[in-house]
Structure 1
Amino acid sequence: MTSFLRRFAVPATLISLGVPVCLYTFARLNPEKATAYYKPVFLWLCARLKRFNQKRFSTLKDDIFSGLKEQDGTSLQVLEIGSGKGTNFEYFPPRTSVIVVDPNPHSKLDFEENSRQYPDVKVTKFVVAGAEDMADVAEGSVDAVVCTLVLCSVHDVDAVLGEVKRVLKPGGKFYYLEHVRHPTLARVQYLQDRFNPVFYSLGGGCNINRDTWKNIDNAGFSNVKYKMEDNIRPKFMFNMLYGTATK
């Protein structure tokens, strides 16, 4: 039995390593075809990974959004950038008013359907726009800005943070959760750099190697707090940055 396993150990290893290498090479050499062929499978896989890590993500969100409960829920005005299906609504205090900013007008139907589960959260405005230019949101008009898993795919992180500061009231808070470049592990950084073109082309412009905490540190907030979490699989994709920044 031992000799049998040894005989097939090397071919099995080569196949397990060869398949992702071949897929990666094809994606780099044929980005347009790769997008057409791989994108549905890639997005399905990412969704499965998020669900696999859902318990851990929920723990991080409980930590991040605990500050929202300390603000005045009777008049709390939140702006959420890229709300998706409204999965963050469960963390908003009752009687919260929400402005949603999203470049995809079709996402409105998704989040409206999900938001019915949270009748105490009222969506007052849906703005179709990129986060780099939220001109339809008045300066100094919101108590909090929420942004989860969005800064990885915006065109200009610094421009988004500038808009976040503009729309926040003095003392308002920016709540964020993002996957970022690993700050210390060289082997993880290497994988992130190598696979970033694949994630970018198949994941709707998603980048897995951004130093987003540096952008937040340099954005001019009066107080920045964040933590790192790398105990989420796969580590090269889900090194998480989460915290708050106060105007």
Structure 2
Amino acid sequence: MGGMTKIETLEGDQMFGAYRAAPEGEAKAAIIVIQEIFGVNPGIRSKCDHWASLGYLALAPDLFWRLKPGVELDPDVEEEFKTALALMGKFDQDEGIRDIEATIHAAREELDGGEGRPKVGCVGYCLGGRLAFMTAARTDIDASVGYYGVGIDGLIGESHAIAHPVLLHVPTGDHFVLPEAQAAMHAGLDDHPKVTLYDYEGLDHGFATETGNRRDEAGATLADSRTEAFFAEHL
């Protein structure tokens, strides 16, 4: 259903890769799928294909392209997990947001039918969940979803800039986002008119991955159904 494409940076001086999946007919909106620390791997591409099957143009930018283009890692393989953590340590998140913004522009340009401003949402996982929150605060994205975003409690100060709806999925047993951080997220965001948090009792980080040891079928199905309803409403 999909394949790789190229997106121009905001500066217009370089190109980076992105997985693109499109519906058979006219797309009703676009969704940017933001990778985990494991790159645009088969699971991320599968999520793009799913959104395309629901009528959306889906794009997953290769955010590690400045470090190592084309990263595809398996979180269930210990050495590959270590490689992912090393890449994460070198990754410039501010540059990543600029690449997501460039992808927003590319999506709107592709969807532009001359009638209004095409709507674009984003959904991210792990690192991508954090970046989805940052995208909501720093760009004009129309709707944002974050799954088990790490370090969002340290970004609460940016929440005043969120102008469009945000949905956050928070597994209470997340060993990367401890209870104190989860409590800070609720304290700082529960009263925000644009932000909704859902807790998933006892589930751990990565519960909505497409395949592998981390997936929890019931939790993933519930969270994904909420995400689909959220985008249906706001895009």
Please state which band the TM-score falls in when normalised by the shorter chain. 0.3 to 0.5
| TM-score, L = length of structure 1 | 0.31
More helix by share: 1
In our comparison, the structure showing a higher alpha carbon Rg is 1
| TM-score, L = length of structure 2 | 0.32
